[in-house]
Amino acid sequence: MEIVVVAPPAPGRLEDLKRRFFATPLQTLLSLISLTIMALIVWKLLDWAVFSAVFTTTGGPEACQAAAGACWSVIAARWRIILFGLYPFEEQWRSALACVSVVVMTVLSCMPAFWTGRRIALVWGAGTGLYYVLMKGGVLGLPYVGEEAWGGLALTLFIFVTTCLIGFPLAICLALLRRSDLPWISRTTGLIIDGVRSLPLISILFTFAVVLPFALPQWLQGDKLYRVILGSALFFSAYQAEIVRGGMQGVPAGQEEAAMALGMSYWQRIGRILLPQAMRNALPATINQFVISFKETSLVVIVGFFEILASGNAAYGTGEWRFAYVEVYAFIAFIYFVFVFSLSRYGAYLERRMAVGER
Q: Which residues bind another protein (CB under 8 A)?
A: 252, 254-255, 257-265, 268, 272-273, 276-277, 280, 354, 356-359
Of 6 and 356, which has the nearer Cβ to another protein? Answer: 356
- Measured from the Cβ of residue 264, the count of other Cβ atoms closer than 10 Å reads 16
Output the DSSP codes for 141-181.
TPPP--GGG-EHHHHHHHHHHHHHHHHHHHHHHHHHHHT-S
Of 12 and 357, which has the nearer Cβ to another protein? Answer: 357
**Min dist. Cβ of residue 272 to another protein (A):** 6
Of 1 and 355, which has the nearer Cβ to another protein? Answer: 355
Environment class of 302 (CB within 10 Å of its CB; exposed 0-12, middle 13-18, buried 19+): middle
Of 44 and 353, which has the nearer Cβ to another protein? Answer: 353
Between CA 78 and CA 311 the distance in angstroms is 10
**Min dist. Cβ of residue 262 to another protein (A):** 4
Between CA 316 and CA 327 the distance in angstroms is 9
Between CA 166 and CA 170 the distance in angstroms is 6
Q: Give the residue from 76, 56, 82, 36 showing the smallest Cα distance to 310.
A: 82
Of 90 and 181, which has the nearer Cβ to another protein? Answer: 181
Answer whether 177's CB lies under 8 Å from 237's CB. Answer: no
Between CA 61 and CA 77 the distance in angstroms is 10
Of 265 and 318, which has the nearer Cβ to another protein? Answer: 265
Of 221 and 277, which has the nearer Cβ to another protein? Answer: 277
**Min dist. Cβ of residue 180 to another protein (A):** 17
- Measured from the Cβ of residue 185, the count of other Cβ atoms closer than 10 Å reads 14
**Min dist. Cβ of residue 188 to another protein (A):** 24
> Which residues, other chains included, contact 21 with Cβ-Cβ below 8 Å and sequence gap of 6+?
27, 28, 31
Write the CA distances from 262 to 252, 258, 266, 267, 359, integer angstroms. Answer: 16, 6, 12, 14, 22
* 127, amino acid identity: G
* Segments in the chain forming alpha helices (H): 13-21, 25-46, 60-66, 73-84, 92-109, 117-136, 152-178, 183-197, 201-206, 212-215, 218-221, 224-249, 253-261, 266-268, 275-296, 308-317, 325-354
**Min dist. Cβ of residue 117 to another protein (A):** 14
**Min dist. Cβ of residue 176 to another protein (A):** 18
Of 146 and 250, which has the nearer Cβ to another protein? Answer: 250
**Min dist. Cβ of residue 271 to another protein (A):** 9
**Min dist. Cβ of residue 357 to another protein (A):** 3
Of 34 and 265, which has the nearer Cβ to another protein? Answer: 265
**Min dist. Cβ of residue 285 to another protein (A):** 18
